Structure 1
Amino acid sequence: MATQVLEQKLARHFELLDIDGDGYIERSDITTFAERICQAGGVAASSPEGQKVVQQGERLWQALQQSMDLDSDEQVSRSEFVEAADVERVMRQAIQLGVAAFEVMDGDRDGRISRDEWTRTDEQLGVALADSRKGFGQLDQDNDGYVTKAEFTEGLEEFYRSADASAPGNWAFGKF
């Protein structure tokens, strides 16, 4: 069973993945989520970079469905998502999608994400601007105005695995 902090973070992440707001994560939600990441980065989902994100999204959907779709109805409810949240395969795949997303979010291809690139992506994913800015500041560990791939990956790891309520990575998807 996940800790209260992990449950809160995962409930927030569920909200972002449930693109159509119907109370379930379905394949179409994950596909739209991946496409929005591409759109925010100014990359076509059909481009080689975009295809990496789309493919990682599909792998995430497969992991969600196989690990969390307890009633095999091809959708994952909030309770299925939060209750099964300690499934390592899903966490690992969500992090892989994030790593692929980094390349697309980095619009100017300088190997790091600026605050504008960060907030543009968050806006597409439904994260409030104030939360997006706070999240960027939390993940920008060295306060240089950029989130590096290492900072980003560390933040994702913290978001999905840390029970520490003060971990900077908790803000990877806005306020939880």
Structure 2
Amino acid sequence: MRNTTFEFPEGTVSKKNKQTRQEERLHETKPRNGQQNHAQQVKQARLQAYDAKLAERFETFDRNNDGTISRQDLEFMADGILRALAQNPGSKKGRALREGARQYYEGLARSAGTSPDGPIDRAEFLAAAESSLHSGMRGFDDSLRPWAEAVIAVADLDDDGRVSVDDWTQVLTAMGADQRHAMASARGLDTDRDGHISTQELLAEARRFYVSDEPVDVFSA
């Protein structure tokens, strides 16, 4: 009796199975690649937003508009803050502010791979901020926290843990903001509208500015 069982040509089943598996893997790979590309695009967009924010900060430090910043630029800003608030540079707070400026600059120089005695250009500043500060609390605590805390402490004239909107406006003006912008930024931080901003709130705002991708106003931190 003739065998009527359907017979595949030799090798056909294995070839078809192999082709099917390849097609399945291709369909699985496409969504994964698409997800990876989207994630990369999101990451790149966030990094660009961060760089744009920090580029504005660089401009406030570059006091003589020569395209670089130096330790003297940060010390000059510190002295301007002290003058704006009629504080003595030789006082405990004054010394802490200048020391904070030094630590901040030296931390940037280390991250940028440059000498702490030399200038840092815009590209080096952004690279240093990305590597040491962006999404990293340790970098903030190591190099920038002393500066931020010292600025806030100088503005807390009566040491009650609060800074008046007027005094913070003076600080922001000394850091390069125009009077109108400075006042708007300071008032924006006074969430309970009592004319004061807590020192902890100011420190948290500085942390948000330097560590996160959020579009925090350059003159709010």
TM range (shorter): 0.7 to 0.9
How far apart, CA to CA, are the structure 2 residues paired with 1:159 and 1:80? 18
Larger Cα Rg: Structure 1 or Structure 2? 2
Structure 1 window deviating more from structure 2 (31-40 vs 45-54): it is 31-40
Q: Which residue of 1 aligns with 2:184?
A: 134
Superposed CA deviations along residues 124-153 of structure 1, whole A, max 9, x for unmatched, are: 221012221221133223332211111101
The equivalences for 1:151-162 within 5 A come to 151-162=201-212
Q: Secondary structure of the residue that 2:197 maps to in structure 1?
A: strand
Q: Which residue of 1 aligns with 2:200?
A: 150
Given that 2:54 and 2:126 are in contact with CA atoms closer than 8 Å, whether structure 1 keeps it comes out as yes
Q: Which residue of 2 aligns with 1:5?
A: 49
Structure 1 window deviating more from structure 2 (127-136 vs 72-81): it is 72-81
Establish whether residue 43 from structure 1 lines up as the match of residue 99 from structure 2.
Answer: no
Structure 1 gap ranges (5+): none
Q: Which residue of 2 aligns with 1:173?
A: 219
With structure 1 as the length reference, what TM-score do the two structures score?
0.85
How far apart, CA to CA, are the structure 1 residues paired with 2:198 and 2:49? 25
Give the Å deviation of 1:100. Answer: 1.0
How far apart, CA to CA, are the structure 2 residues paired with 1:18 and 1:8? 16
Structure 2 gap ranges (5+): 1-43
| Structure 1 runs of 4+ with >4 Å offset | 69-73
The equivalences for 1:11-160 within 5 A come to 11-70=55-114, 74-86=118-130, 87-88=132-133, 91-92=140-141, 93-160=143-210
Given that 2:81 and 2:175 are in contact with CA atoms closer than 8 Å, whether structure 1 keeps it comes out as yes
How far apart, CA to CA, are the structure 2 residues paired with 1:33 and 1:69? 23
With structure 2 as the length reference, what TM-score do the two structures score?
0.69
Q: Which residue of 1 aligns with 2:32?
A: none
Aligned residue pairs: how many?
171
RMSD between aligned residues: 2.4
Give the Å deviation of 1:174. Answer: 5.4
Establish whether residue 163 from structure 1 lines up as the match of residue 213 from structure 2.
Answer: yes
Structure 1 window deviating more from structure 2 (2-11 vs 96-105): it is 2-11
Q: Secondary structure of the residue that 1:113 maps to in structure 2?
A: strand
- Are the structure 2 counterparts of residues 71 and 172 from structure 1 closer, same or farther at C-alpha, using a change threshold of 3 Å? closer
Superposed CA deviations along residues 35-60 of structure 1, whole A, max 9, x for unmatched, are: 11222222111111100111111111
